Chains A and B, each alone.
Chain A
Amino acid sequence: MYNEEFENYDTYNVDQEYMGHTGDPALDSEYNKQMYKMPEVVKKYLMYFRNAVNEGLVFELQTLYEVTWPKISDDFFEKRPWPEEADVSALVDNDMVFMILYKELYYRHIYARIQGGPTLEQRFNSFFNYCDLFNYILSAEEPVPLELPDMWLWELVDEFVYQFQSFAQYRARLQKKSDAELETLNAHNKVWNVLCVLNVLHSLVDKSNIKQQLEVFANGGDPDSVAGEFGRHSLYKMLGYFSLVGLLRLHSLLGDYYQAIKVLENIEVHKKSRYAHVPACQISTSYYVGFAYMMMRRYSDAIRTFSSILLYVQRTKQLFSTKSYQHDQINKQTDQMYHLLAICLVLHPQCIDESIQQTLRDKSYHEKMYKMQYGDLQEFENCFIFACPKFLSPCPPAVDTAPEDYSKEAIRYQTQVFMDEVQQQKCLPTIRSYLKLYTTLPLIKLATFMSQNQRGVEKDLDKETQLLTIHLLCFKHKMKNVVWSKGASGLEGKFQSGSELDFYIDNDMIHIADTKVAHRYGDFFIRKILKFEDLNRKLHHLKL
């Protein structure tokens, strides 16, 4: 119903209305309050939106939230905030709940669209608005009469964690802050405090009994039997579930990979379940889980997690392309996961699904993998930095530190930890490439090969053999990792050698076992058959 009006709406003096900008946010907002005339379409939209929230028209809300809001944002508020609180409040009879929801969207829009990002005041106010929202939901005596689409709930929780991340990074950039700003920040150190964020997420988890629900569900029972009064409510149940994923993200950002995986107990990441139907949530979950596994040197688990979600993305790609704002995020995360998968496969070569392999072969990934295989540490680092989460330090820099940029410290540190691991494995690809050529190979012979790699200095063969033996032990140690096979927690698992090349040493002879994969014809023929069919069908439809 709104689309029609968009077309007729004359985008007349939108620009003029903003001519009076002073650049000072306080004055500007004063100015906006006095001068800004809200377009009729926006007015109608907001009033209708409020109605839909109040009456719990979830289906309607889905469109209003996923389609109309982004559209109006594009058309009217591309580079400016949505109307101020006071203007909207008057339209909707000061509806408290709707205003909280509106403000959440209002700030989210500022974070995403306004150049230069939110001001300090906006960051604070957005935080207080979240507090209002979660207080309303969590401190109620009985479940609040609110029903929102799952997509919205997911993006709400995800945005909450994102804004914390954004604040922590903003907070750590001391170099551009005025004394007054620093003073405000120091005086309000409870705002966007990490404990506060953790507390909200944990409270949402507890209130909904989601952990108990998932456990019962995993054992084939009825989750409602343990959900309790709140947990049976869709709003609480889904907020609880998404908070678990929020915690996964938060723990990962802080480098706590153990808790990251542990928080998802009773969720089988690669399995579809009744809770996991928001694609963005599923993709994000797999990204963080796979990343945590990679850092824990559980490459098989990481590879399984990444390939399974990337396959899912490949197959459902068409579904996402229409919703552009989610599409960008999903594309970015997908690209990051291909990078991480490439890293894992270089460190731990193993068979993966053919169509994923194809993508890795096609795109620029191929060259990157090639460089990494040949020990280009810089390439490892570049891929890692591109693909890793935006790590942060949970605490702001101390009050008396020099006014510098501390926001990159955490990311630099996690990169260092990862690069230490890569450094330890530096010799393995070379050894692997030699072993691949043989089924048995005397230690001494391989030692000779290896020493030829280092040009120049004449080497003592005994020493070389000793060194090689150490590398071989390291090879076996690094390639034998914990792999999950069953159990509620993703932390469980048994030691396995999952990589495609393995060997053992019998005194001074190396015996090599490789994995040989025969060509697969089935897929190829099926694809050709389908193509032929399609062509045939089209030909029949041709009218000459």
Chain B
Amino acid sequence: MAEAMKQSVATMLKGIERYNPDNLSTLERYVVTQARENAYDLEANLAVLKLYQFNPHLFNIEITSQILLKALTNFPHTDFILCKCLLTEQRLSEEPISQIMFLAHILEQCDFQIFWKRIETMPDMTSRITGFLDSIRKFVCHVVGITYQTIDRTHLSQLLGDINDSTMKHWIKKYGWREDGNLVFISNQEENIKTKNINEKIEFDHVAAIMKSCR
């Protein structure tokens, strides 16, 4: 359904039509569909926030929260910041937006243990977003993947939200990592992260003209 809506919604986002408040209800339904079907369309969601920005009386806090939570699922992309920039100071202090802001803040700082603790206390909010927790785990795996060559197994499990052994095996397999006793081998970072030396290269052609004039 989300796939089908994507097409019809795309025409609503073209040119000046994007600002037509008559489209809002369709776009809002699309947000709910995305949440339910684990689909994602940043551009459409930004258009909703834009319509709220232009028509404050149409503001819907429930839809806004879903948009923000969906933006969290697309970390490490900075979609969340893009959404945040279209809100106002006053909106940020409203519940539950303020809570979502806090979640984003600790995710940005990669303080995953606090994140998992906090998320336990708000099951209603996240259960409406299909695949929410796994999306966050994907982000954790992304950060682990760029940081570690090998990581302590217990530590990894904590980062992923104290998952059980079989789930852990699933994630390790999914990312092509390798268990090695107490450690998990992530990837061979040595090959990519190397000291670079930038030396000046002067080609003859570049200085030919000036050499000629020096005669």
Name the contact of B193 in the complex, choosing from A202, A394, A513, A533 (C-beta under 8 A): A513
Contact indicator per residue, chain A 277-310, by CB within 8 Å of chain B (1) or not (0): 0000000000000000001111000000000000
Decide yes or no whether B146 CB sits under 8 A from chain A: yes
Decide yes or no whether A492 CB sits under 8 A from chain B: no
Name the contact of B85 in the complex, choosing from A206, A414, A518 (C-beta under 8 A): A414
Q: Is A258 within 8 A of B195, CB to CB? A: no
Contact indicator per residue, chain B 147-182, by CB within 8 Å of chain A (1) or not (0): 111111001000000000000000000000000000
Q: Is B16 within 8 A of A470, CB to CB? A: no
Q: Is A482 within 8 A of B77, CB to CB? A: yes
A529 with B189: in contact, given A256-B46, A258-B42 (CB under 8 Å)? no
CB neighbours (8 Å) of A195 from chain B are 16, 19, 54
Q: Is A409 within 8 A of B193, CB to CB? A: no
Q: Is B198 within 8 A of A421, CB to CB? A: no
**Residues 76-129 of B at the A interface (beta carbon under 8 Å):** 76-78, 81-82, 84-89, 105, 108-112
Q: Is A257 within 8 A of B82, CB to CB? A: yes
Q: Is A504 within 8 A of B207, CB to CB? A: no
Decide yes or no whether A511 CB sits under 8 A from chain B: yes
Q: Is B85 within 8 A of A506, CB to CB? A: no
Instruction: Give the Cβ gap from A195 to chain B, nearest Cβ, in Å.
Output: 6
Instruction: Give the Cβ gap from A288 to chain B, nearest Cβ, in Å.
Output: 14
A-B contact pairs, 30 of them (CB 8 A): A194-B54, A198-B19, A255-B85, A255-B86, A256-B86, A298-B78, A394-B53, A395-B56, A409-B88, A417-B84, A421-B81, A473-B144, A497-B146, A504-B147, A505-B149, A506-B148, A507-B149, A507-B151, A507-B183, A511-B149, A511-B189, A513-B194, A515-B196, A515-B198, A518-B197, A518-B199, A526-B207, A529-B210, A530-B210, A533-B214
Q: Is A394 within 8 A of B54, CB to CB? A: yes
Decide yes or no whether B202 CB sits under 8 A from chain A: yes
Decide yes or no whether B50 CB sits under 8 A from chain A: yes
Instruction: Give the Cβ gap from B203 to chain A, nearest Cβ, in Å.
Output: 10
Name the contact of A477 in the complex, choosing from B76, B150, B183 (C-beta under 8 A): B76
Bound: A467/B151 CA distance, A: 16
Decide yes or no whether A476 CB sits under 8 A from chain B: yes
Decide yes or no whether A259 CB sits under 8 A from chain B: yes
A474 with B214: in contact, given A395-B54, A506-B150, A516-B196 (CB under 8 Å)? no
Decide yes or no whether A514 CB sits under 8 A from chain B: yes
Closest chain B residue to A523, Cβ basis: B200
Most chain A CB inside 10 Å of its own CB: which residue of B82, B87, B190, B194: B82
CB neighbours (8 Å) of A518 from chain B are 197-200
A residues at B contact (CB < 8 Å) = 194-195, 198-199, 202-203, 205-206, 254-259, 295-298, 351, 393-395, 398, 409, 412-414, 416-417, 420-421, 424, 439, 469-470, 472-474, 476-478, 480, 482, 495, 497, 502-508, 511-522, 526, 529-530, 533
Bound: A459/B19 CA distance, A: 55
CB neighbours (8 Å) of B147 from chain A are 472-473, 476, 504-505
Bound: A421/B200 CA distance, A: 35
Q: Is B200 within 8 A of A529, CB to CB? A: no
Name the contact of A417 in the complex, choosing from B56, B81, B110, B149 (C-beta under 8 A): B81
Q: Is A258 within 8 A of B82, CB to CB? A: yes
Instruction: Give the Cβ gap from B189 to chain A, nearest Cβ, in Å.
Output: 4
Closest chain B residue to A194, Cβ basis: B54
CB neighbours (8 Å) of B214 from chain A are 529, 533
A480 with B86: in contact, given A297-B81, A513-B193 (CB under 8 Å)? no
Closest chain A residue to B20, Cβ basis: A195
**What is the interface residue range for chain B against chain A?**
35 or more
Closest chain A residue to B147, Cβ basis: A476
Most chain B CB inside 10 Å of its own CB: which residue of A198, A258, A482, A513: A258
Instruction: Give the Cβ gap from A254 to chain B, nearest Cβ, in Å.
Output: 7
Bound: A517/B55 CA distance, A: 52
CB neighbours (8 Å) of B84 from chain A are 417
Q: Is A295 within 8 A of B189, CB to CB? A: no
Decide yes or no whether B205 CB sits under 8 A from chain A: no
Q: Is B85 within 8 A of A514, CB to CB? A: no
Bound: A140/B197 CA distance, A: 61
A351 with B193: in contact, given A202-B15, A473-B147 (CB under 8 Å)? no
Instruction: Give the Cβ gap from A312 to chain B, nearest Cβ, in Å.
Output: 20
Q: Is B76 within 8 A of A416, CB to CB? A: no
Bound: A495/B146 CA distance, A: 11
Q: Is B200 within 8 A of A520, CB to CB? A: yes
Name the contact of B200 in the complex, choosing from A296, A393, A478, A521 (C-beta under 8 A): A521
Bound: A322/B213 CA distance, A: 32
Bound: A250/B16 CA distance, A: 14
CB neighbours (8 Å) of B19 from chain A are 195, 198
Decide yes or no whether B61 CB sits under 8 A from chain A: no
Question: Which 3 pairs from chain A and chain B are nearest by CB?
Answer: A504-B189, A473-B110, A255-B85
CB neighbours (8 Å) of B10 from chain A are none
Closest chain A residue to B86, Cβ basis: A255
Closest chain B residue to A211, Cβ basis: B15
Q: Is A296 within 8 A of B82, CB to CB? A: yes
Bound: A513/B193 CA distance, A: 6
Instruction: Give the Cβ gap from B109 to chain A, nearest Cβ, in Å.
Output: 5
Name the contact of B53 in the complex, choosing from A199, A254, A258, A526 (C-beta under 8 A): A254
Known: A412-B89, A504-B190, A533-B214. 13 other contacts (CB 8 A): A199-B16, A254-B53, A398-B56, A474-B109, A476-B147, A477-B76, A480-B76, A482-B78, A505-B149, A517-B197, A520-B200, A521-B200, A522-B207
A516 with B46: in contact, given A424-B105, A424-B109 (CB under 8 Å)? no
CB neighbours (8 Å) of A409 from chain B are 88-89
Bound: A351/B86 CA distance, A: 33
A522 with B202: in contact, given A473-B110, A477-B143, A480-B76 (CB under 8 Å)? yes
